[in-house]
Each structure stands twice: as C-alpha cells, then as structure tokens.
Amino acid sequence: MTSPAPLPIQCNAQRALGRFIGGPFQDDDGRGGPGGWWIFPEVDVRFGPHDILRPDMSGWRRERLADPWYARPIDVVPDWICEILSPSNARHDRVTKRRLYAAHGVAHYWIVDVEQRLLEAHRLGDEGDWIVVGVYGDESAAIPPFEAVDLAVSRLFPPLRPPLPPARSDE
C-alpha cells in the first residue's frame, strides 16, 4: 500500500527545516556557516536487512558519511532524524520508528507536530533510551545537534490565522 502524499502543512515544515538547518549546516559549509553535515529529505536508509525506512529528514556528520551521492539505500545510520507527524503516521513515528531508531543508535530524534506547532527534541541516552532535550513552540532555540544556530521554531509552521470575528446575532 502506498502512503498518501504529505499535506502542504507538512511539506512546509520539511522545506523550512531544509532551509534553516540544511542551509547553515550543509549549504553554507565553508561559506560562513557551521557546516559539517549532509541533510537530506526523504532518502532511503537501511537500519537492518528488513528495515529500510525513508525518514522525513535525515542528517549525517560528514566524517561518518563521506560520499552519499549515489547510495540507495544509505547504509550508515543517521546522526539525526526528524519525523513530521500527520494523523495517519503519528503513532508509527512516536512508537515504532522511535524504538527502531534508538535500537540502531540514532543519536538525535526530532518530532515535529504541525497541528500542535511543536518540535520535540530527543537525544539517545547511554542506556539506549530517549532523553527529552526540550519541547519548543514559538521561541527560538539552539537545539542539539544543531546548537550552533538558533532555530526560530515558529518558522516551521504556516502563519497563524487571525481569529474569526464573533458571530452576529440579529435580534
């Protein structure tokens, strides 16, 4: 069964992460940004012989993945993964993928909840459990593993809609 295409609200968050994280950490490498990473949307990653997944966003420190350009799937476990929740995948991302990513040593796992306008950041603890680094909403924050820049979390989400005017009662 094929999964439905993401909604524009999810695509917006993915595009924004590519810009605000991928920009300084991949695109600006050697041009003033911190660099040192490969950041990719929707690439196939092999976690085991029967576990090939396509996270919404994945990142590798360049010293761990020298030449990613023609690999499919990529056989090196990412250093960072971000999943952008949708109603059809939230449970899978929060339970199944979260466990799999921990079991295979993904160091950082972010979950973006577009409906709640939140970013949850987790890091893998020494015992293989996820430790919550923080939950972020409208603030700017230096979030591991990308703490070299402040991420304006609200920019991952569409502008807030103005409140509707109160209903008129014609009496």
Q: Which residue ranges form the domains of the chain, and what is each CATH number?
A: 35-156 (3.90.1570.10)
- Give per-residue burial for 73-84: e unless 16+ CB within 10 Å, then b: ebebbbbbbbbb
The tokens describing 111, both together, are: 């979950």
Q: Is the pLDDT of residue 42 over 90?
A: yes
Confidence of residue 2 (pLDDT cuts 50, 70, 90): low
Q: Is the pLDDT of residue 3 over 90?
A: no
Question: So what's the pLDDT on residue 31?
Answer: 80
Confidence of residue 87 (pLDDT cuts 50, 70, 90): confident
pLDDT tens by residue, 100-119: 999 999 999 999 999 999 99
